[in-house]
Homo-oligomer: A and B are copies of this chain.
Amino acid sequence: MIVRELEEARSGERLVKSEGWDSTRLLLAGDDMGFSFHITRLFAGSTNTFEYKHHFEAVYCISGEGTIEDHGTGKTHTIKPGVMYALNEHDRHTVRTNAGEDLVVACSFNPPVTGQEVHREDGSYAPPGEAA
């Protein structure tokens, strides 16, 4: 059994920071669960575009509010606590976080993130085994 605590993990290598967000990887590929599990904060007032060409991702909103724009359909959905979105078609998407409060989400990735990826310019992570 693995037991990890978010605030403790945020003080170490499990925390990855970017301009508009940070993400704490509570489970990574090396944990051999078949998925990785992250707690991600999208900063208040930020706009972030992602496209995980090589991963499936599910995102569940714990706190905060915002919107997600699906580039494929042009539709925009509200994100608030209790809403989950799943990128089952590697959907390119833009998350806009309302001002005043970070959007805190729980994320599962398949295949699991190794912890070595960086976001490429196209908003994706490299597939496993390929250099970032």
Specify which of B3, B56, B73 is in contact with A34 (CB 8 Å cutoff): B56
Asked if A60 contacts B26 (CB within 8 A), the reply is: yes
Interface residues on A, range: 35 or more
Copies of this chain present: 2
Within 8 A of B (CB), among A48-102: 56, 58, 60, 62, 68, 70, 72-73, 77, 82-89, 91, 93
Bound complex: CA of A5 vs CA of B79, how far in Å? 9
Bound complex: CA of A85 vs CA of B26, how far in Å? 9
The secondary structure that dominates the A interface is strand
User: What are 23 A-B pairs with beta-carbon distances under 8 A?
Assistant: A1-B70, A1-B73, A1-B85, A1-B88, A1-B89, A2-B84, A3-B68, A3-B77, A4-B83, A5-B84, A6-B84, A26-B58, A27-B58, A31-B86, A33-B56, A34-B34, A34-B56, A35-B110, A37-B84, A37-B86, A58-B108, A60-B106, A108-B108
